[in-house]
Structure 1
Amino acid sequence: MDVFVCAGCGTELTAPVLRVALPDHTHHGAWEELHPPLMEPATYAVDPLPTGPPWRLWEEVGEEAAARQGVYAQVYSVSFGARNRIVIAPGDSRSMTLIPERCEGYCRGVDGRAGPNLACEGCGRAVATRMDDCGMWQTVWLEPDAVVRRFAGLQAGPPPGWDDVKRAEHRVQPVEPDGSWSRRWEAAVGVALAHLLVVTGNSPVALPAGPVADLLGDAVGRYLRAGADIRTLGLAGPGITTPRPRPDVLLVPRHPLTGAPWRPPGDEGAVVPLDSGVWAYLAHPGETSPMPASGGLPEGVLRDDYPLPPRPWCALTPHRHAFDHALVRLPAVRGPVLSRYRASYGRRRE
């Protein structure tokens, strides 16, 4: 476990927190909605790429300077904010106070547009940015040059690992109680589709029967082209048998602690990483039948104690900004095939 302190005076600014993988949905919420905290209690993550203000228009930056910022295709604006900013849940912040003149937002909260809006109570140094406006996950972003990480002692239990993705509590349900798709699913699928597009070169993809085809089929058909030269996709990861023969691409979970994609031992083939909680639902959905496992019920009768799964309003639509955000940060997007794809995709969105 770590604790972050003010670089100026040493005041502790966080509770003890454990570093975990940066969530795929970090920068992608739903417009005009209030969201819960991004991070689980007592955890933190680090974004290695520049985030936040100042922003510069693509026309002012140019292709090579944008690439140095981790952006490899044209976007409206490029962040020249700090790298390696640290994100925590607001409830894990300590000894910080808002800077009123920097608390601008769209309508329901603050969005960080003016830069750090939290000051250390010990010395008044601007150290972090609170963000909680509509469409944003509730976060506190610590500025890397304003804080110092210190070891806070051993954690209460073992760190999360591959065994955790097999547990029922790790699964993220795809549909909210009101029938809308999970915002985490929308973002995670958008990011995974960007990686799938890159590893297949926009080839058609055949999905395995079952939850993957049922839940992701419409999204894959919308974002990838149809035709011949079909690539195969298979689900692989902890607790399930890797398909044989090996599909062209494996859909695998990200490690909940490191974010690294799972791989079969000795396998160097193409993989597409997916949010481990979303992957866990696809691989281990749990009981899905309203009929008993053995025996039977009278004809036409279903169990009256079985909670039927919520029905979504429509087919899953990946988060458009999550898809594009991930795609432009993959160097392969500079190639001719994906450059043409992105130009065509941009026209379809307009």
Structure 2
Amino acid sequence: MEVFECRGCGTALTGPLSRVPFPVYAGIPYGNGVAMPVLMESGTYALGIDLLDPADEGENEGSVLLAPGDAAGTRLIPGRNEGNCCGLDGYGGPNLACAGCGRPVAARIDECSAWQATWLEPDAARRVPAGPPRPVADWASVAGRWRAAALVEADGSRSIRWDVEAAVTLAHLVSAADGAPLALAPGPLAQAFRGLLGQLPPPQARPARRAALAGPGRPLPRPLPDIAVVPRHPQTGEPWPTPPGVAAAPLAAEYWAALAFHDERELAPATGRLPPGVERDDPLPPHPLYAGYLDRWVFRAVLNRLNGVDDTQDDHR
């Protein structure tokens, strides 16, 4: 665990936090005028340097990304409440100052179409140890604990986080296919990704590469696929290890679980009728596997990175 403190006076700017992988879609806007959720889980942080070289841990580590509620010891800077539409966008520089010495230390973001987050400035904050690290869950625990996020919201609207995570995984699938068509295993995987694949240009006329779900708590598909959609460890970012010769297309653990353990069977057969005068007032649950929306910005950014293309247009702060 670490805390971040002001380089100027030592005031604590956060409580104890655990480091997690940097979300590849941080800093990439979503839609137009969309009210966005908080990006980071409370109690965690990520370093922007992860996008460049995870081994580069010098003094200037890159911007520190955390949930807004985890920022402490700060105050808004008067006159720095700029935003294009609905809130703070941080484009004018830090809008939070250290409560101890007044030094600008962070940017609070809550503008529409931007993930809600606080970004600590690398030259204004430093991290110091604050206790032992959080134990890293084994794969069996991951399969049990991170289960399972819905692919749509409770009101039937599209899940923003699923859209961006699906775009990340789709980029891995397309990269692993290397121009060949993708043959998705029937069931939840095909239902979740077939519509997204249909929004891409046609692949080359080559033998298809087979993709299937694999991971902890599931038997290995037989015959082995060319590509396995596997969970991405929420603490380390590492994909579940695939068998030799099988490429991995990682998917966020909670959404992988939603596909891997998806079951639409009723728990008990429905019998009888409602009593006279009784009406249903609860809507039927939305079907969680839908054609979906392809977030092309995220898809392109991840695919370019996998292919070694330097896309300098992406804004990762």
Q: How does 1:195-234 map to 2 (within 5 A)?
A: 195-223=172-200, 225-226=202-203, 227-234=205-212
Partner of residue 236 from structure 2, selected from 223, 233, 258: 258
Q: Deviations over 1:155-194 (max 9, x none)?
A: 6x74444234323653110011232221111101111122
Residue 163 of structure 2: aligned partner: 186
Q: Deviations over 1:38-63 (max 9, x none)?
A: 1111111222267xxxxxxxxxxxxx
SS of the counterpart of 1:273? strand
Q: Return the offset for 1:25.
A: 4.2
Residue 57 of structure 1: aligned partner: none
Q: Deviations over 1:74-125 (max 9, x none)?
A: xxxxxxxx86321111111111112233321111111111122211122222
Structure with bigger helix share is 1
1:2 aligns with 2:33: no
Q: Which moved more, 1:202-211 or 1:98-107?
A: 98-107
Q: Return the offset for 1:249.
A: 0.8
Task: Give every structure 1 segment of 4 or more consecutive aligned residues whose post-TM-superposition deviation is greater than 3 Å.
Answer: 27-30, 157-161, 296-301, 304-308, 311-314, 331-334
Q: Contact between 1:116 and 1:127, CA under 8 Å: does it hold in 2?
A: yes
The percent of aligned pairs where both chains have the same amino acid is: 42
Residue 277 of structure 1: aligned partner: 254
Residue 39 of structure 2: aligned partner: 38
Partner of residue 223 from structure 2, selected from 242, 245, 248: 245
Q: Return the offset for 1:307.
A: 7.8
Q: Contact between 1:30 and 1:136, CA under 8 Å: does it hold in 2?
A: no
Partner of residue 80 from structure 2, selected from 93, 102, 108: 102
Q: Any stretches of 5+ residues in structure 2 without a counterpart?
A: 54-59, 275-279, 311-317
TM-score when normalising by structure 1: 0.76
Aligned CA distance change for structure 1 residues 9 and 133 (closer, same or farther; 3 Å): same
For 1:291 and 1:13, the matched residues in 2 are separated by: 48
Residue 116 of structure 2: aligned partner: 138
Q: Return the offset for 1:268.
A: 5.3
Q: Contact between 1:48 and 1:83, CA under 8 Å: does it hold in 2?
A: yes
SS of the counterpart of 1:100? coil
For 1:13 and 1:327, the matched residues in 2 are separated by: 35
Residue 264 of structure 2: aligned partner: 288
Q: Return the offset for 1:153.
A: 1.4
Q: Which moved more, 1:141-150 or 1:22-31?
A: 22-31
For 2:288 and 2:307, the matched residues in 1 are separated by: 35
Residue 151 of structure 1: aligned partner: 129
Say how many residue pairs are matched.
Answer: 297
Residue 19 of structure 1: aligned partner: 19
Q: Any stretches of 5+ residues in structure 1 without a counterpart?
A: 51-68, 71-81, 335-350
For 1:27 and 1:242, the matched residues in 2 are separated by: 36
Aligned CA distance change for structure 1 residues 314 and 173 (closer, same or farther; 3 Å): closer
For 1:269 and 1:84, the matched residues in 2 are separated by: 34
SS of the counterpart of 1:187? helix
SS of the counterpart of 1:150? strand
Q: Which moved more, 1:26-35 or 1:226-235?
A: 26-35
Q: Contact between 1:38 and 1:137, CA under 8 Å: does it hold in 2?
A: yes
Q: Deviations over 1:278-311 (max 9, x none)?
A: 11111122x422352xxx555999xx99984314
Aligned CA distance change for structure 1 residues 161 and 196 (closer, same or farther; 3 Å): same
SS of the counterpart of 1:149? strand
Q: Amino acid of the residue matched to residue 221 of structure 1? A: G
SS of the counterpart of 1:329? helix
For 1:312 and 1:298, the matched residues in 2 are separated by: 25
For 1:111 and 1:232, the matched residues in 2 are separated by: 42
For 1:205 and 1:100, the matched residues in 2 are separated by: 53
Q: Deviations over 1:233-271 (max 9, x none)?
A: 01111111221222111111111111111113x635321
Q: Amino acid of the residue matched to residue 322 of structure 1? A: V
Partner of residue 330 from structure 1, selected from 293, 296, 306: 306
Q: Amino acid of the residue matched to residue 16 of structure 1? A: P
Q: Contact between 2:191 and 2:289, CA under 8 Å: does it hold in 1?
A: no
Q: Contact between 1:24 and 1:275, CA under 8 Å: does it hold in 2?
A: no
Residue 48 of structure 1: aligned partner: 49
Q: Amino acid of the residue matched to residue 20 of structure 1? A: V
